[in-house]
Amino acid sequence: MSLYNEWKSMAYDIPNDQMAVQFWNEYCDLEKGIYITVLEEGTGKVEGKINDLAKKFKVKTVDFVGFLDGINDSLVTNLDLDEITEETEVAVDVDFEKLYFNMLSAKADWLYTLDQWADILTEEKRKEIKKEYNISRTVVKEDKIGRNEPCPCGSGKKYKKCCGNE
């Protein structure tokens, strides 16, 4: 079984809610530790063999693959997680703005509120990303075409006699 499949099995095939809560609480603490280190280093670059990186961040290899799964959408170039083994060399390049946005989207307040963000993104930039996130969540309803208004297809007929006549 690949490390990624092992991760998915561990994370998503949990037999009951109590075990799931315990698993995710423990994992989120591990994840937070990894993010603190990545943010403190400030480069956004993580390079090396999976097993060496897991040792560096003091987690199991499968947990490190879980971290990669979570951060994959925030990378400059996504990883093919299915191909990762303990000996795989990875070169991760984090797009910090995208990461911050994705943390907001995931409602991961234990991550986007870390003090280490202050050295990566200015407060103004974080507010700008938060505003962009809020706009992305806003649903905009299109104006409804009235029955007696001109048809938007340009025929010159009323909507009810043209495209609205079904």
pLDDT digits (tens, 9 = 90+) for 136-145: 988 877 788 8
Chain center to CA of 79: 14
The verdict on residue 164 lying in a domain is no
pTM: 0.81
pLDDT of residue 131: 96
pLDDT of residue 138: 83
Cα separation, 61 vs 26, in Å, equals: 15
Per the DSSP assignment, residues forming a β-bridge with 89 are 49
The verdict on residue 135 lying in a domain is no
Number of domains in the chain: 1
Cα separation, 113 vs 64, in Å, equals: 21
Yes or no: say if 87 and 61 are a contact pair by the CB < 8 Å rule. Answer: no
Domain limits for position 102? 3-121
pLDDT of residue 166: 67
The verdict on residue 29 lying in a domain is yes
The verdict on residue 138 lying in a domain is no
The verdict on residue 30 lying in a domain is yes
The verdict on residue 31 lying in a domain is yes
Arithmetic mean of pLDDT, 95-123: 96
Cα separation, 93 vs 152, in Å, equals: 47
The verdict on residue 104 lying in a domain is yes
User: Could you tell me which of 82, 72, 67, 61 has the C-alpha nearest to residue 5?
Assistant: 82
The string of pLDDT tens digits covering residues 115-157 is 999 999 999 999 999 999 999 988 877 788 888 989 988 889 9
Given a cut of 80, is residue 1 above it in pLDDT? no
Query: Among 35-44, 62-71, 131-140, which is the least confidently predicted range?
Result: 131-140
Cα separation, 3 vs 86, in Å, equals: 8
